[in-house]
Amino acid sequence: MANLQIDIEGGKRNFSPGDTLAGRASWSVDADLRSAELRLFWYTSGKGTQNVGVVQTLPFGAPQRSDRRDFRIVLPQEPYSCSGTLVSISWALELIVEPNTETERVEFTMAPGGTEVMLTS
């Protein structure tokens, strides 16, 4: 059984482009790990094809079965978190440890003023 966790500093979930997102990734698993990494990405949802853009991958060297690692990521300038009738763009961090198949994901908003852009017709 695996226990994976992502904690964002201060419990913050709203960021502006260029902000620094800091926190800690931790895990506890039953077997030796080949790798552990944190991914920063955005994805679309709604009608049509879903798109995903991995912006940054932070590999954690020599991961132990039970471990925790601090991280600091400067957020890009775009795309903004937004919601509309047909499509939405969301941001997330995902912790992946292998060979386990479990992952942990934390979503957050990334837009000017930390407020999701609402798309209207």
Q: Is the pLDDT of residue 1 over 80?
A: no
Question: Which position has the higher pLDDT, 8 or 1?
Answer: 8
Report pLDDT digits (tens) over 82-102: 999 899 999 999 999 999 888
> What pLDDT does residue 102 have?
84
62 phi and psi angles, rounded to 5 deg: 45, 55
- E-strand spans in the chain? 3-8, 14-15, 20-28, 35-46, 52-59, 66-74, 82-83, 87-98, 103-110, 117-118
pLDDT band at 121 (very low <50, low <70, confident <90, very high): low
Query: How many C-beta atoms surround the C-beta of residue 29 within 10 A?
Result: 21
> What pLDDT does residue 120 have?
81
> What pLDDT does residue 63 have?
96
Report pLDDT digits (tens) over 18-74: 999 999 999 999 999 999 999 999 999 988 789 999 999 999 999 999 999 999 999
Residue 18: CA atoms inside 13 Å, Cβ hemisphere, count? 2
CATH 2.60.40.1930 fits 3-42+52-77+92-108, yes or no: yes
> What pLDDT does residue 13 have?
98
What integer is the mean pLDDT of 97-113?
94
DSSP letters along 60-82, please? -SS--SEEEEEEEEE--S-PPPE
The 8-class DSSP code of residue 116 comes to P
Domain ranges of the chain: 3-42+52-77+92-108
What integer is the mean pLDDT of 75-79?
98
User: What pTM value is reported for the model?
Assistant: 0.93
Q: Are 79 and 42 in contact (CB under 8 A)?
A: yes
